[in-house]
Chain A
Amino acid sequence: MATADLLEIEGLSTYFDTEEGTVRAVDGVSLRVRPGETVCIVGESGCGKSITAMSIMGLVGTNGTAGRIAGGRIRYEDRDLLRLNKHELRTIRGHEIAMIFQEPMSSLNPVLPIGEQIMEPLIEHLKLSKKAARARAIELIAQVGIARPEQIAKAYPHELSGGMLQRIMIAIAISCGPKLLIADEPTTALDVTIQAQILDMLRQFKAESDMSILLITHDLGVVAEMADYVVVMYAGKVVEEGEVVELFERPKHPYTQGLLKSKPIMGQRQDELYSIPGQVPNPLELKPSCYFYERCEHAMDVCRRAEPTLKGVGEQGSVACWLYEEEAIVHG
């Protein structure tokens, strides 16, 4: 099975060196995406989801940007993305791996017409002529469900709404038939009705093209709707992962349980919505411990002293929590 993975991340660590110390934004994260599978990374803000995505795309530590990849491997098919040179990386980006950002409003160039922005990857990767690329761009606009594609192609980003712009972003992302689509909170900036349409569209394109999706979100509703496999991140680490149904029905890690509990239930009015007490720990002050223990209802002595490792529990999935370790280790 392992060789069939489309994307395999192993022990990825992305650090940011600040004046106060090193921030371990992503700390030894491993995950895999199989062909045609949708993997969701869930977690609170600041738990390293987006940095993971940016690391995959090679947006960390290049061109003098902050952050560096301190370790790990990102294997895409048979290539290690971290070892590729600029040229090789460029031929993969936008062609085989595409990415959608959170803010459609700021992800499109404000001074270029929409059509030209869709044409660019077509010309760059598929070597289409300008004329063919324009025709294809108009087709793509129609494909993402926007009326009057010819006119929209000539419009500038500020003339469209957020929902339309996110459709355009999707059109750009799928234009070259990528094998992997990384969607970093694609619906967070949109209102709920548009969210559903965007998710539907992603699902449909996935079904039609056997594309894999790595979806990053903090919205468990989105996870339930989209994911085959879920990876829960907390403070830069994977704390639990598993098949979506299993994870929703039998969450193991107290953090996952908390996340699921804090989700409002449709048609049911609760006096007070559950929230996980406390806050994400300051990434500068992390000591070898379970990073969640201060907020955990089941915290034990061992949680304060040592860090649990990700271990397989049950048939599917793994969890990093002392609750599921052998008694001997916990007390010994």
Chain B
Amino acid sequence: MSTITGGVAESEVAPAKRPLARSSLWRLAARKLLKNKLALAGLFVVVFMFALCFIGPLFSPYTDNKIHMALMNKAPNLKHWLGTDALGRDVLTRVMQAGRISLTVGLASMVLSVFLGSLLGAIAGYYRGIADQVIMRIADLLMTIPSLPLLFILGALLSEWKVPTDYRMYIVMLMLSFVSWPGLARMVRGEVLSLREREFMQAATVLGLRDRRKLFKHLLPNLVPLLIVIASLNVGGAILSESVLSFFGLGVMPPTPTWGNMIDSANNLIDFQQRPWLWIPPGFSIFATVIAINIFGDGLRDVLDPKPKK
């Protein structure tokens, strides 16, 4: 076969100025993000918290979590920047170690719930019919039960069954994603319902592609912006839920520190009135991390949403 070259010049490329880059969609988004100062600030705080929690403990001399009766409840000083707790452990180190757990739990449960939610939502929206009915009714059922009481019940069951402390962290992750996938599935399903009617999906059908390929190669990439935004907001929610659970003694158990159970251990009048260094640092960490993640997620939504805002 020969080549047809009648008058098709390069000028047909819409904006011919810049070289075509593979990542141009993402590059555009990155450029937009750089202009969004608030989102950048959020991103900075998130990155800072991650760095603090995962790198910080490496420089701390107090990581062994030994009990020092002589150092009980010391106010912040030069050796212990955020003071020590009732067992003489360095609060700063524990806040950083707790952050590792809290952030890991938040991230892991987000990954799991995004995976579950987008898979089930995509299947429900794409195949409709019985699959849709079954999946969405289960989702509805889970959504009608307020998630906090549900988590409490599950947490109480964990204590009842005497699940080893080491495993509790993983089970808490599972619990958190279990309660958060329905909302996600519903959003993904809605998006898939509209995407599947689009002309390019018809074109994919006409090409004789398999359902699996159409679903995962053609539909899901279109959902990535939505998923990124949901996922980022989800992390904040998961960290918060984990903290609440741990605060009530139903999440990750001491001595493994999490931000929630650190606040819980300062849950008495004397600590509250006279030793603010015990509860302000973990509380502030939760607050700052969740706010920063939410602000960043909102910014991402603006950046990745192609529809113009008023």
Contact = CB atoms under 8 A, between A and B. Distances in A.
Interface of A: 57, 59, 63-64, 89-95, 98-99, 101, 103, 106-113, 120-121, 124-125, 142-148, 151-152, 154-156, 158-161, 163-164, 167, 169, 172, 193, 197, 200-201, 204-205, 208-209
A143 B208 contact: no
Contacts of B7: 193, 197
A148 B221 CA distance: 26
Contacts of B224: 111
Contacts of B68: none
A112 B218 contact: yes
B146 to A, nearest CB: 33
Interface string B5-24: 11111101111000111101
Given A143-B3, A164-B13, A90 B204 contact: no
A159 B209 CA distance: 25
Given A112-B218, A142-B3, A161 B12 contact: yes
Q: Provide the main secondary structure of the chain B interface.
A: loop
Interface of B: 1-10, 12-15, 19-22, 24-25, 127-129, 196, 198-200, 202-210, 213, 217-218, 221-222, 224
Contacts of A143: 1, 3-4
A59 B8 contact: no
Nearest to B22: A154
24 contacts: A91-B208, A94-B207, A94-B208, A98-B207, A106-B198, A106-B199, A107-B200, A108-B200, A109-B200, A110-B222, A111-B222, A113-B22, A120-B213, A121-B207, A121-B209, A125-B208, A145-B6, A154-B20, A158-B14, A159-B14, A160-B14, A163-B8, A172-B207, A197-B6
Q: Which 9 A-B pairs have the closest CB atoms?
A: A94-B208, A93-B208, A94-B207, A145-B4, A106-B199, A155-B20, A111-B221, A107-B203, A90-B208
Contacts of B6: 145, 197, 200
B262 to A, nearest CB: 43
Contact of B205 (A93, A95, A125, A159): A93
Contacts of A155: 13, 20, 24
B24 A145 contact: no
Given A109-B218, A161-B13, A197-B6, A124 B210 contact: yes
A164 B12 contact: yes
Given A94-B207, A94-B208, A145-B6, A152 B199 contact: no
B10 A147 contact: yes
Nearest to B129: A64
Contacts of B204: 109, 120
Given A112-B217, A124-B213, A147-B9, A98 B3 contact: no
A159 B210 contact: no
A216 to B, nearest CB: 14
Given A112-B217, A155-B20, A163-B8, 7 more contacts: A57-B205, A98-B206, A111-B25, A121-B207, A143-B4, A159-B13, A164-B12
B206 A93 contact: yes
A204 B4 contact: yes
Contact of A152 (B3, B20, B24, B210): B20
Given A63-B128, A160-B12, A112 B206 contact: no
A89 to B, nearest CB: 8
A155 B129 CA distance: 37
A226 to B, nearest CB: 16
